[in-house]
Amino acid sequence: MAKLAIGAHVGLENPIEHAISMGLDHIQIFLGAPQSWKAAEFPHPDGAEGLKAAAIAAGIDIYVHTRYIINVATSNNKVRIPSRKILQGDVIAAAAIGAKAVIVHGGHVMEGDDPQLGADNWLKALTQLDMHVPVLIENTAGGSHAMARRLEAISRLWDTVGHTGVGFCLDTCHAHAGGIDMSNLAETILGITGRIDLIHCNDSRDAFDSGADRHANLGQGNIAMEDILNCLKIANAPIVLETPSDGVGADVATLRSALN
């Protein structure tokens, strides 16, 4: 196993300086408020080009997380259509800053809808998307109509969109909260998708299959550290910590000691 790159989600205030001070290999950022439909913004006085140049100079890779409100799976046109638009906007903005990939949640269908409709809507969205940078669908923690919570839902989605070249982001907290066996998590997901492009490495404040998306610092939650480390080793993908900020430094140190 090669040395695994370790990073964290950081805020929009001086993100590159933050990464340098913490010794991160990469960062994950939003390019706008997570619940906003507004166009992307760039956390640098010189805009996209300034942020890209600063990241290159520092040797820091960037990942972009799209807005939480995006839901391209839904049958609700008032949500699905603007979701496609803002996803495309974030992909274009991510390309402008030289980002490695864009991460987007799997979304959900409405009660009473056939789940296959959500997968088909994902296929339409990806077919129409100009993928200037790789797009990674992330598994989610809760929701009985979610497109990427349960294994059967992930399988249905990947059977529909896997051929498009879309990637997969595996969140350990979401998997635990979503009711997926953690002892062989990476092996299970690889058996379905054939790929894990990024890991969101998070412990969980809540119990297994709770459906609650509440992250905890490593070793401070309800996921066995052995299961987290095994997942990271098997997946062999870049790691992004989304744990509470006051403990991220300790989380980075823990991973560097255990993995590298």
Buried b or exposed e, range 89-103, using 16+ CB within 10 angstroms: bbbbbbbbbbbbbbb
Within a domain: 228: yes
Token pair of 177, please? Answer: 């909260």
Number of domains, the chain? 1
Q: Which amino acid is at 187?
A: E
pLDDT average, residue stretch 109-130:
97
Confidence of residue 260 (pLDDT cuts 50, 70, 90): confident
Give the three-class secondary structure for 248: helix
Percent of the chain with pLDDT over 70: 99
Give the pLDDT score at 257.
Answer: 95
Whether residue 50 has pLDDT greater than 90: yes
pLDDT average, residue stretch 40-48:
89
Mean pLDDT, rounded, of the chain: 96
Within a domain: 222: yes
What is the span of the domain harbouring residue 138? 6-259
Are 139 and 171 a contacting pair, CB within 8 Å? yes
pLDDT average, residue stretch 93-102:
97
pLDDT in tens, 26-36: 999 999 888 88
Are 115 and 156 a contacting pair, CB within 8 Å? yes
Domain with residue 78: its CATH number is 3.20.20.150
pLDDT in tens, 59-96: 999 999 999 999 999 999 999 999 999 999 999 999 99
Number of residues in the chain: 260
Within a domain: 237: yes
Within a domain: 153: yes
Within a domain: 1: no
Confidence of residue 45 (pLDDT cuts 50, 70, 90): confident
Whether residue 2 has pLDDT greater than 80: no
What is the Cβ-side half-sphere exposure of residue 140, based on CA atoms within 13 angstroms? Answer: 19
